[in-house]
Amino acid sequence: MDEHAQGRTTSTACRRPFVPIFCEYYYAKRDALRRELYFKSSAGRRALRLMLKESLMEMDKIQI
């Protein structure tokens, strides 16, 4: 999380400041990567959007 917040990760460096609105922790890296791949799929994006619908609407109202 620190690497993302400090811009040391290429995937989030251009979208700083990094504001996490959803976080899951896994003991095994393979489980975390599997979950990440799911969220990057069409079904996963839809599920994430449904789970975070209210949060995403609030984020649209706030200027960061």
Q: Are 57 and 49 in contact (CB under 8 A)?
A: no
Question: Residue 27: CA atoms inside 13 Å, Cβ hemisphere, count?
Answer: 0
In this structure, which amino acid lies at residue 31? D
pTM of the predicted model as reported, rounded to 2 decimal places: 0.65
Query: Is the model's pLDDT at 8 over the cut of 70?
Result: yes
Q: Which residue has the tokens 């069409």?
A: 42
Average pLDDT over residues 40-49: 93
